[in-house]
């Protein structure tokens, strides 16, 4: 497995280097890589978004089923799956694009951590450094060899040397990119949960979760994720616009007694 990951990491570095030779910037190379991945995953992403919108339209019917089968979990599961099948909705469709992108994020992380990009930056964003490491540099924290800069280390450094935060140029661009990712994540969740109160909690959980994860990610990985999320918002808006013009989903079981009388 280790040999496989090494080979995949070398392939990722080779691809980034090839793109870099054309565009002349490591940051632009990451963005071009993002566009290529989004293009390859477009069919999966489109299917996921369409399925999500259909599921939102089915929420009234699902609530009716939950009331009807509140004491019959097996019946509720059976009828819910039948409803999904009638309307060609796949609840698991949302997981696949993320699962496909996860290895890419891991490989990009490995490349940025193990390769020498000469301190490359893009629009001030340090591609090899994270929000935590760039803030540590501004605060004068020197990492012990073989250890990583942690969240609490930075918090303690701020308390000990708040004046170091004045060196905003060292960490500001990475921090602003983190803020953008948090906002885009919130906006995506808001778009996804419209009309679904059960998903409202995710509006706040996911941005906080992503923000915490991204604190220690290299700027290049954040740049990839931010660009990918930004493109995703555009695609989601388009799908939402198209599906809103379509007819209502199949709900002919809303009144079973009527069909019997007919």
> What are the backbone angles phi and psi of residue 144, rounded to the nearest 5°?
-70, 135
> What are the backbone angles phi and psi of residue 122, rounded to the nearest 5°?
-145, 115
pLDDT confidence of residue 4: 80
Contacts (Cβ under 8 Å, ≥6 apart) of 236: 49, 188, 191, 192
Q: Is the pLDDT of residue 144 over 70?
A: no
Contact 120, 127 (CB under 8 A): yes
Determine whether 189 is exposed, middle or buried from the number of CB atoms within 10 Å of its CB (0-12, 13-18, 19+): buried
85 pLDDT tier (thresholds 50, 70, 90): confident
Window from 35-39, 68-72, 88-92, 179-183 with minimum mean pLDDT: 88-92
Report the C-alpha gap between 138 and 167 in whole angstroms: 6
pLDDT in tens, 242-262: 666 555 544 445 444 444 444
pLDDT in tens, 182-232: 999 888 877 766 655 556 666 778 888 889 989 988 999 899 989 988 888
93 pLDDT tier (thresholds 50, 70, 90): low
Tokens 């490989």 sit at which residue?
107
What 8-state DSSP symbol labels residue 24? Answer: S
The DSSP H or E segment spanning 29 is helix 26-40
pLDDT in tens, 23-37: 989 999 999 998 988
pLDDT confidence of residue 256: 45
Determine whether 221 is exposed, middle or buried from the number of CB atoms within 10 Å of its CB (0-12, 13-18, 19+): buried
Report the C-alpha gap between 35 and 37 in whole angstroms: 5
> Could you tell me which residues are beta bridge partners of residue 125?
122
Contact 122, 223 (CB under 8 A): yes
Nearest to 31 by CA among 236, 175, 210, 220: 220
The CA-atom distances, in angstroms, between 244 and each of 83, 237, 261 are 20, 11, 33
What's the count of helices (H) and strands (E) in the chain, helices before strands? 12, 2
> What are the backbone angles phi and psi of residue 129, rounded to the nearest 5°?
-100, 150
The more confidently predicted of residues 220 and 98 is: 220
pLDDT confidence of residue 148: 76
């Amino acid at each position: 497995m280790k040999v496989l990951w090494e080979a995949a990491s070398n392939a990722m570095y080779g691809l980034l280097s090839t793109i870099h030779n054309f565009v002349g910037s490591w940051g632009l190379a990451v963005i071009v890589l993002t566009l290529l991945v989004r293009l390859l995953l477009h069919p999966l992403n489109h299917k996921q978004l369409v399925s999500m919108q259909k599921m939102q339209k089915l929420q009234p019917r699902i609530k009716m089923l939950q009331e009807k089968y509140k004491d019959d979990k097996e019946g509720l599961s059976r009828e819910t799956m039948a409803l999904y099948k009638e309307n060609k909705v796949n609840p698991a469709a949302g997981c696949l694009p993320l699962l496909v992108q996860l290895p890419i994020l891991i490989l990009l992380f490995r490349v940025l951590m193990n390769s020498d990009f000469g301190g490359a930056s893009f629009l001030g964003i340090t591609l090899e450094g994270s929000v935590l490491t760039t803030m540590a540099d501004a605060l004068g924290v020197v990492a012990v060899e073989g250890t990583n800069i942690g969240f609490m280390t930075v918090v303690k450094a701020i308390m000990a040397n708040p004046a170091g935060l004045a060196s905003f140029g060292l960490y500001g661009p990475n921090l602003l990119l983190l803020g953008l990712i948090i906002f885009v994540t919130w906006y995506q969740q808001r778009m996804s949960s419209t009309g679904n109160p059960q998903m409202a909690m995710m509006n706040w959980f996911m941005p906080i979760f992503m923000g915490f994860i991204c604190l220690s990610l290299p700027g290049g990985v954040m740049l990839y994720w931010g660009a990918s999320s930004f493109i995703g918002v555009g695609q989601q808006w388009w799908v939402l616009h198209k599906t809103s013009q379509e007819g209502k989903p199949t709900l002919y079981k809303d009144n079973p007694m009527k069909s019997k009388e007919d």
